[in-house]
Each structure stands twice: as structure tokens, then as C-alpha cells.
Amino acid sequence: MRLHMRNLNLFLILLLLGLHLCSVLSWKRDEFRNCNQTPFCKHARSRKPGSCSLIAHHVSISDGELTAKLLPKNQDNVEDHDQIQPLVLTLSVYQDGILRLKIDEDPSLGPPKKRFEVPDVIVPEFSNTKLWLQRVSTETIEGDAEPSSIVYISDGYEAVLRHDPFEVYVREKGNGNRVISLNSHGIFDFEQLRTKREGEEWEERFRGHTDSRPYGPQSISFDVSFYGADFVYGIPEHATSLALKPTRGPGVEYSEPYRLFNLDVFEYIHDSPFGIYGSIPFMISHGKQRGTSGFFWLNAAEMQIDVMGAGWDAESGIALPSEKNRIDTFWMSEAGIVDTFFFVGPGPKDVVRQYTSVTGMPAMPQLFATAYHQCRWNYRDEEDVDHVDSKFDEHNIPYDVLWLDIEHTDGKRYFTWDSTLFPHPEEMQRKLATKGRHMVTIVDPHIKRDDSYHVHKEATQKGYYVKDAHGNDFDGWCWPGSSSYLDMLSPEIRSWWADRFSLENYVGSTPSLYIWNDMNEPSVFNGPELTMPRDSLHFGGFEHRELHNAYGYYFHMATAEGLVKRGEGKDRPFVLSRALFAGSQRYGAIWTGDNSADWDHLRVSVPMVLTLGLTGMSFSGADVGGFFGNPEPELLVRWYQLGAYYPFFRGHAHHDTKRREPWLFGERNTELIRDAIHVRYMLLPYFYTLFREANTSGVPVVRPLWMEFPSEEATFSNDEAFMVGSSILVQGIYTERAKHASVYLPGGQSWFDLRTGTAYKGGLTHKLGVSEDSVPAFQRAGTIIPRKDRFRRSSTQMVNDPYTLVIALNSSQAAEGELYVDDGKSFEFERGAYIHRRFVFSDGKLTSMNLAPASPGKSQFSSESVVERIVVLGHVHGAKSAVIEPTNRKVDIELGPLWLQWGRESAAAVTIRKPGVRIADNWTIKIL
């Protein structure tokens, strides 16, 4: 009987996995709910403008915040069972132009349960920036029957709480122009928790699954308007254009809202508002008229967001301010509370800085993690690993990380090794480490239900699993078959999980091993929409529906903390996660999931990565070459050429695809891929400096053009090109056999072709010939880029290599740039152990200045690295020599190649050879 049941279970596992893998062949839309099949979304979308009857009462200042009660205007005319309890509203103000609005049920009135507020996303230091409101002023607005309440936000902005009808908005002082508003159209709705009425049906059913919904409807919805906006952006993760298209209104293309619900979606389609692996409910507006503003709703339940097309409210009869270019949006969530943040900008970088001051700055990665990663599902065994590693050396292609997927484990039991395929894991890792390379292994959240598996056994004994609706350990299906999922909402369980990564507990691991969290949406093959049932129970008695979008975030958090613990707090972690939420930027990198080897997916990778960067997730990228399918060599080459500029640069492929390591497509294609990877390695000093900028300001590594050129309308919807920092513009090639590319180069200054040094005028669209050698990329006039031009096996072996500075002069014969250097791995940079230089070229002189603040007793970092070449583009004088100060040493100026590795193929440029100045020193080089 036991044998029979074991065979039956094995059959069921194989059947489920087979069905799961079959879905890889095409995305089946009917496996996932649409808005009409989602009661809270259908209910919210049916509401008409002006349907909200709430008004604000009892407005006062308490504990430095504005508080009020929200009640229906006509409460006396409704039956007792429809009585709405007062909602509690709080407005609080924080430094740097941030307004927070919270609305929740009044706990003193005894609601059936406490509604979920997302913990551990807002960084603790944010609370220290709260402004203590002293008073509230009043003003009668637009002929209202009673005055509105006005509070200070900053010197240029103030918040208005309109009492009747209820509305909250931010306006500019002086002219009164609105920036952002909530409930201007009167669609606010807050379904309060209540007792179930006799005969009432609360259960929901979808494709054979039943959601018990024990607390009934509890959704929230409201409209948010952005004034002076030409476009809105953000709310990842979707495979869509950078500028969000309208989803409702006359003549719109889409009928579904943008969905925020973390899902394991195979081979997602490339142009859809459908949600995929991550959810960040943060939207940015931008326009020439007003600038930039932002709105963030801290809520981890399923969310649906409509972008309204012009004229959607034509029949509403609501008179709104007649300012130009207002964009209306509609936000709907299944549960939670209103906990929203208004960011006033006014510039793009201001908004991103304001948002990341709430949710945290991006983590500073180790240097190796910013280089090239080689991955496949799966490298078969230790011999395969050794072969791939040696082939990179044979073909003179650098790489830093080799990855192992689920097949490296003993029967899909994480923290184990298949003893036949990987009998010597520590030796394997040490071989890579001798070349400065690292390994990453996968650790997913599903724990195999096997009593002989130590992780499962201990988690069961401690009661650490998520529970089903009946209070039993939840049992779902994933790669190992029957699996349970750790309740990562609990700090105790996260701490226990972190301990699993110690060298003692993770047998076979070494300090050079890092981690990949996949399937952490969480993916459940036999669950509704391939995820965990919404009525599953978590720590504190909260339902999974209330925190679903944050589950992967907590898993990512715990894993990153595990690597920090492993290194006794000395080394920075590297953890790649597929699922993400607001704040995920604090814990590592993410990637855009299971894309496909086609030109459309190459194309959509750019707006996806740009959107993630705008919403805090600077360290992201797409699988180079496409995860599913077999790319033609031309597509693969073009993807490497573009992917070399992603913040996270990894080649990855499904196990059913043909092998596609860089040397398998003929000598010429190998050369082209090698060149693309070499470009990334040469630019690593520039990238690492940008990662530090993101770490201190939130400004992403790669940026939409409008972030650098916010007043140029031609950039607002351009998502085929992007900026790497403020100095490099990259234009992808997204079609086969392309001979030409149209490239818009913004600004009034010139741009220099990154490969040839050819100058092009800014402010124009250029039709350029395209070669197979590279995608179009340009250095902006007025900038200085640090490079390292020597070839090494890995970034770790480049640490002491000399630098090249490439100076692109503007029309004033001036330029500037920065270089940030630290030890590349530890947290000592947080204690001041780094070098941060500013280079300024002006009046024929290049000066290196220290940007690192001086503080007594801080940690020290030193470097003996020198500058071996200085390349000057756009220099108008026939200089022959230069003098280095303060040593008063003279060096020659000559014409030299812009790129050493291309030799005679590279353009000649004015070059100062071997100036020999140390990057850590102050110095000046004067061209004579």
C-alpha cells in the first residue's frame, strides 16, 4: 500500500510539473483573473464620479499631526445595518516636501479585526524627519459651504484638507496651483469590516478554487490626479512602455487596469498591463508645465490601477480646476488601509530621493556583482562548471559569477548538494575563487515536505510554516512536489531562516557563495493563479490576501540578512530576487523574470528596467538572450551589446534551450559578444560610482532621458534609449538586420560616439548607420568618465589596475565627472573608508579634488592605483605637452586610440600618456 501511494504521489507530482512546464509554451490568459472576475475591482470600477458622500469633521492638531473624522453627509437617512462608522484621518508632514495621509477604521469602535499595516518597509530614520505641526489655518475654497484646513509642507508647498466634499491635495504656495490630489472626483470608497449578515455570500470562486473570505469585503479605492503632467510612469512590474498608457476612457487601447499582484507568469507577453513578479505601488508624473511629482500607497494587498484617458469623466458634472495636462488615475486594493505619501518634487531626481527616503536607499553592491554573470538552468555537474569556466579564459572573455539552479540540490532540498553531480562543492567554489570569481546557488521559499529533510523537520517542530484557512501547515506544490512555505512575516522566523546560511548550517558552502531567491511570489503550482490561497494565515492572524505582494520582499530580506550574519557583519550580501515590493532595493538585485528570446522582449526590457529604477530598484536587468527559446545569433549579439549597460548584467537560459555560452556561435559572433562584455568591464569604475550615487541619493544607475533633460518634450515618452548616469546615452537596436537607427540626442551640447569619438550635435534626431560592432552609445559633452582598459579574468583581478579618464569637452571647453572607490566588498565604506574624487576640466586644466568628508577617527581606505591615460575629446587647440602639479613634471600629448583593445580601428584622440598621478591624491594637469 505504501509503495502504491508513493507511486501515486510521484505520478501526481510529475503530472503537476508537466502541466506547469507545458504552460511555458504559451501564457494562458484564462489561468489568471481579470478585473470582472475580481469582485473588489469590478465593484470599484462601477462607481461613478461624485459617489463619495464623506465629509471631514472634528479637524484638529494632535501630536504634531492633523487629525479628522470622516463621516457620510447623509448618515441619518440610511438603515441601521448600512451605518458607516467614522474613519480616522491623519495628515503628517516630513522634511523635504513629503506629505503622508492615513485613513483607517477607528480602533476604539471595536472593528471585527485590525486591518493590516505593512511593517518593515518604511525605514526607521524616516520618522526622525517628521515636522511637528503647530497649527492649522483655514480658507474657504471655490465657494464651499465651509472652510478647508491648510497645513504647511515646505516653503513652496502646502496641503489642503477640503471638508465638504472630502478631498486632499497639495498646492503651490502663492499661485495656488495644484500638484497632486486625492478624491477630487469623489470616488473614494472604504469597505469597512463588519459582521456577516444572514444569507450573505462572502466566498469567492475561481477555476475550482474557493476563497473563504472570512472577513468579507474590505476593499479601498480612490482617484488620484496629477496636475501639469504630460505622462505618468512607475507602478512596476509590467511588460509595458515607460510612459503608462490609458486603461479607461474614450478610444483607449486597453480595457484592463494595471495589476499589482505578484505572480509566477511564464513567458509573459511583451505589451500588457497584466501584473507579473513584483509590485511597487509608486507612480511618478512628469510634464513640461510643472515638473515632477509622485504618489505612493503602502499597501501589500492586490491592487489594480487605472490610468484614465482624456474625457473619461465628461458626463460627471464635476468641475475641476482647468489647469492643462491633468492626468487622473484610479487606485483599487482588496484590503489594507490608506497609507499614502505625496511627493512634491519638483524635479525627477527630487521625487526619487523623496521616495527612497521613505523606503530606503538602494544597497551598495559588492564590486563583483556589478560585473558579468553566467547562468543557465542548469549547469549539469562539476565537470560542466569547470568546462564553462575554462572556456571563458580560453576565449579571453571576463566573467565574475557562475550560477547553479535547482538541479544542483539533492532532490530539490535547498541547502543541499546532489552528491553524484556535485560531490565536492567547496573545492568547486575555491577553484573559481582563485580567479577572483564567485558562485551563486538558488534557494527558493518552498520547503520539501520530507521528514528526513532537516530544514522541514525543524520548521515543522517550531511551527514556522504559513497556515491554511483551517490552521494546518499549508501544503502546496512546487518543484519538490508537496511543499510548505515559511511565514516570513514573523521576525523570529526570518532570523531563523537567516541562520540557515551560516557555513556550519549550509554544508558545502564557502564565503564566495551567494544566493538567488526565485519563485518567491510565492509560486504554488496547484494554487489559485499559481500562488498561495488568499485565506492562508500568517503571523499575527493576518490573511495572505493582506500581505501577498510583500511575501517575496520579506523572504529577500531574511536571505540578505543571512549572508550578512554569515560574514559576521563584515561583507555585503548579494541576493537576487524575482519577487519585489517597495523597499526591496535595500536587499539586493532583481531581474525581470522569464522573458523570451525575441526582439519584442529585448525592446521591452528597457522600459521595464527604467521603471524599476524610477521606483527605487536601481539594481535590475533582464535575462540576456531571453530565458525561453533559442535566439538567433544576431539577436543574442544585440542583447549582449545592450545588456552590457543594464545595472544587472546576466546571461541566462531555460534548460530546454540549446546551450548558448558566448563562444558557441562562430568566431565573429564570439568576438562581438566578447567586445560587448569588455565594454562593461572597462566601464566598471563608472558603474560602481553610479551605484554609490544610487546608494546615497536614490537616483538610479540607468535613467530615462527626461530625468537628465526634464524640459525636453521629445524625451518624455522615449524608452528605446536611456541614460547610464548623466554621461552616457545608449540606443538599443531592436530589429533584425538593421542598417540605420534614429537617435535623438537631447540638450544643447554635443555628444561623442563612445566607440569612434565622432561628435554629433545635441537637440536633434540623427539617422545613423548601424554596424554589427555595437549599439549606438554616446558620451555627453561636459562629462568625464573613468575607465579601466586592461583585460582581466574578473573584476576582482582589476582592483589595482590603472585608470583611463575620458574627457568630453563642451562648447566652453569644460567638463567634470566623479570616481568612487572602496574595497569593493565590506561595510567599511559606511565608516568613511573610501575614495571619492571630482575631476574638473576648465581653462585648460584638469583638477582632481577630494569629495570625501573629513572626519576624525573614520576608517581609512587607500589605493596606489594611478591614471595611465587621459583622453580628451573635443579639444580645439594643438597642444603638445602638459605639466603636472604640484610636482611640476612635464608629459607629452599625442594622438592615441580612444579604445586600446580596438587598436587601429579606434579613432585617434588627444591623449596624455602616463601622467602617473594617483587617484587618491589632489593634483592638477595643465595643458600647454
Task: Tell me how far apart the 2 most distant CA atoms of the chain are, in Å.
Answer: 93
For this structure, is 521 an active site residue?
yes
The string of DSSP letters for 106-174 reads -GGG--SSPPP---S-S-GGGGGGEE-----EEE--TT-SSPEEEEEEETTEEEEEETTTTEEEEEETT
Cα(453)–Cα(686) distance, rounded to whole angstroms? 46
Query: Which amino acid is residue 475, in one-letter code?
Result: D
| 50: phi then psi, degrees, rounded to nearest 5 | 85, 0
Q: Is-catalytic flag, 172?
A: no
Nearest of 171, 174, 175, 180 to residue 148 by alpha carbon: 171
Candidate list 302, 400, 518, 693, residue with the active-site label: 518
Q: Which helix (H) or strand (E) holds 69?
A: strand 65-72
**Three-state DSSP state, 23:** helix
- Assign 892 to helix, strand or coil: strand
Provide the grid cell at 625.
538572450
List the catalytic residue out of 521, 529, 623, 789. 521
First to last CA, the chain: 92
Active site residue 158: no
Give me the catalytic one of 594, 693, 712, 719. Answer: 594
**Can you tell me the distance from the alpha carbon of 464 to that of 738, in angstroms, rounded to the nearest whole number?**
55
With a CB cutoff of 8 Å and minimum separation 6, the contacts of 549 are 260, 261, 262, 278, 279, 300, 301, 302, 303, 581
| Dist. CA 407–CA 429, nearest whole Å | 17
β-sheet bridge partners, residue 575 = 515
CA distances from 627 to 269, 411, 412, 612, 660 (A): 13, 23, 21, 19, 11
> CA-to-CA distance for 517 and 435, rounded, in angstroms?
25
Buried b (16+ CB within 10 A) or exposed e, 48-67: ebeebbbbbeebebeeebbb
Single out the residue of 889, 883, 866 nearest to residue 819, CA to CA: 866
580, exposed or middle or buried, with CB in 10 Å at 0-12, 13-18, 19+?
buried
Collapsed DSSP state (helix, strand, coil) of residue 899: coil
Instruction: Report the distance separating Cα 556 and Cα 562, nearest Å.
Output: 10
Question: What are 440's three cell numbers?
Answer: 551563486
Angle at which helices 684-697 and 348-359 cross, to 10°: 70
Q: Rounded to an integer, what distance in angstroms lies between the CA atom of residue 177 and that of residue 346?
A: 13
**Integer CA distances (angstroms), 535 to 504, 565, 645, in order:** 37, 33, 42
The answer to whether the CB of 695 falls within 8 A of the CB of 363 is yes
Enumerate the active-site residues.
518, 521, 594
